[in-house]
Amino acid sequence: MSLNKQGRPSRPAVAQAENEGQFETFSGSKALQQTELLLFDRGDNERTGVDLPDTPEMDDDLGDLARKDAIGLPGLTEPEAMRHYVRLSQKNYAIDLGVYPLGSCTMKHNPRLNEKMARLPGFGDLHPLQPESTVQGALALMDQLSHWLTTLTGMPAVALSPKAGAHGELCGMLAIRAKLDADGQTQRRRVLVPDSAHGTNPATAVQCGFTVDEIPSDSSGRVDLEALKGKLGDDVAGIMLTNPNTCGLFERDIRTIADLIHEAGGYFYCDGANFNAIVGRVRPGDLGVDAMHINLHKTFSTPHGGGGPGAGPTVFSDALAPYAPVPYVVKDGEKWKLVERNEDAEGQPFGRMSAFHGQMGMFVRALSYMMSHGADGLKQASEDAVLNANYLLALLDGPMTRAFDGYCMHEALFNDNFLKDTGVETLDFAKAMIDEGYHPMTMYFPLVVHGALLIEPTESESKTSLDRFADTLLALAEAAKAGETERFKQAPVHAPLRRLDETQAARQPVLRWKPAEAEAQAAQ
């Protein structure tokens, strides 16, 4: 069954030929650009490329739930399976292919040394149920990683167990709630959240039983200090603020904000998603932060999403450290051990975040990155990230319109004013970037900027690659202003698939493949 029959729009044959000036091939492939069917379309349910012995008869406890029919998975030969995934990989954009300007996510180069370390015997084959005596090296590594994280942030405690940034947010806010409850401040259930915050911030606050009170931004793209003062009261639990913020700007009034929150009896949660812009230059603990998660993928180059499990360690101030979750690593004489239960902990942990401690592969990768760079190298990486972003800001300012005046941090933010009266929208501009061989930057975020284009070049891009990227954007901006509207509306024309109906895809996603016979019967 073809993709079109599944309701997924692909490139119409006529439109493709007209747009590219090419004839249609019988196979659907274009030289090295290979067409590829779904495994279900390519494979055969009656055969397989692997010989497996017959399974012995055995009793089970499934009762009526036992499967009676064939599972229906397609069988392929080994070369067919290998070619399928290689061809799919050639349709993906990746950091190994080119600049990945996806601001707010930090798609940076992941040094291969980190991968080699994570696959060392003893790290790569650990099991979470091994006896502590057999994982002493792993526990020592976790303790060393904790030391780096607390030193770089200037905060006394860290929980390694959160598995992602949002999970780290949850960890921090649960600690704040536990502290408030322990102090009898149960009336404090209102959390202040800037309007430029990541969407996970208000969601996390609500998940923890708080209500959310939005703080507007001022004309500079930062927290409106007077509006914040007007929101303070004896029911405020704290604030969730990102610094540098999602506009790519450093909150200049950060110490004042922290002091105001503390004087009101609340706590300061900092979203550490953008910590990669200030490592080695600013310690969040010195800014009055009480809790902050750290995206290891954004700041310390573990794979984005962790190649499976991610990691979002959360650091705590002295006030919240006693409420950090279990388990955590401690030194017991000459040995390391995990404190697993609340009753064995020194403080008052709010509980635990997950069944096991964390993600060893991510811990190894992050520590490898830290140790190979050293403190001075981490500082330089942050400085280079900020330098690259400001370089792009300077190159693009004018033909494109910056959102705010002044220097930025690690992200350069533009609005869509430069597209006014061209008939080209932000989405069209993004799709045209795909034809030029680039993954688009973050579009339409943050929401406080109309038609936002948020560019994060990262520290790992060379001046040459940034110049080529900037020249491409400038050429596209010129084409839009020159009236080449149809080019943008048709884009992408060189991608494996044409522009999708994203609204329909979101509202009516096709999540399950159905054989052609089943579809024909349903139609009758």
Give the CATH number, domain containing residue 243.
3.40.640.10
305 and 404 co-located in one domain: no
- How many Cβ atoms are within 10 Å of 331's Cβ, its own excluded? 11
Please report, rounded to a whole number, the percentage of residues in the chain having pLDDT higher than 90.
70
Residue 188 lies in a domain: yes
312 and 196 co-located in one domain: yes
pLDDT one-digit tens code per residue, 82-130:
999 999 988 888 888 899 999 878 888 889 999 999 999 989 899 989 9
340 and 218 co-located in one domain: yes
- Comparing 89-93, 184-188, 211-215, 343-347, the range with the smallest average pLDDT is 89-93
**Domain at 472, CATH number:** 3.90.1150.10
469 is in which domain, residue-wise? 377-507
Residue at token pair 């954004």: 298
Asked whether residue 277 carries a pLDDT value surpassing 60, the answer given is yes
Q: Quick one: tokens of 55?
A: 């399974």
Distances in whole angstroms, Cα of residue 516 to Cα of each of 10, 85, 166, 314, 519: 18, 24, 41, 50, 5
417 and 465 co-located in one domain: yes
Asked whether residue 306 carries a pLDDT value surpassing 80, the answer given is no
292 and 366 co-located in one domain: yes
Helix (H) or strand (E) holding 30: none
pLDDT of amino acid 518: 56
Residue 78 lies in a domain: no
- Comparing 1-5, 214-218, 397-401, 412-416, the range with the smallest average pLDDT is 1-5
Which of the two residues, 136 and 92, has the higher pLDDT score? 136
Kindly state the average pLDDT of the residues 22-32.
75
Are 400 and 418 spatial neighbours (Cβ–Cβ below 8 Å)? yes
Q: Pick from 321, 337, 370: which residue ends a domain?
A: 370
Residue 42 lies in a domain: no
Buried b (16+ CB within 10 A) or exposed e, 162-176: bbbbbbbbbbbbbbb
Q: Give residue 177's identity as a one-letter amino acid code.
A: R
Residue at token pair 């950060």: 254
Residue 5 lies in a domain: no
Tally of domains in the chain: 2
Q: Pick from 336, 370, 404: which residue ends a domain?
A: 370
Asked whether residue 358 carries a pLDDT value surpassing 80, the answer given is no
Residues 41 and 516: their CA atoms lie apart, in Å, by 10
405 and 342 co-located in one domain: no
424 and 320 co-located in one domain: no
Arithmetic mean of pLDDT over the chain: 90
Task: Kindly report the pTM of this predicted structure.
Answer: 0.88
386 and 443 co-located in one domain: yes
Rg, Å, the chain Cα set:
26
Kindly state the average pLDDT of the residues 315-319.
98
- How many Cβ atoms are within 10 Å of 223's Cβ, its own excluded? 26
pLDDT one-digit tens code per residue, 429-481:
999 999 999 999 999 999 999 999 999 999 999 999 999 999 999 999 999 99
Residue 62 lies in a domain: no
354 and 439 co-located in one domain: no
Q: 520 exposed, middle or buried (CB, 10 Å; 0-12, 13-18, 19+)?
A: exposed
Residue 412 lies in a domain: yes
312 and 190 co-located in one domain: yes
pLDDT of amino acid 308: 57
Grade residue 32 by pLDDT with cuts at 50, 70 and 90.
confident
- Name the H helices within 348-401: 360-396
Backbone angles phi, psi at 4, to 5 degrees: -60, -40
317 and 194 co-located in one domain: yes
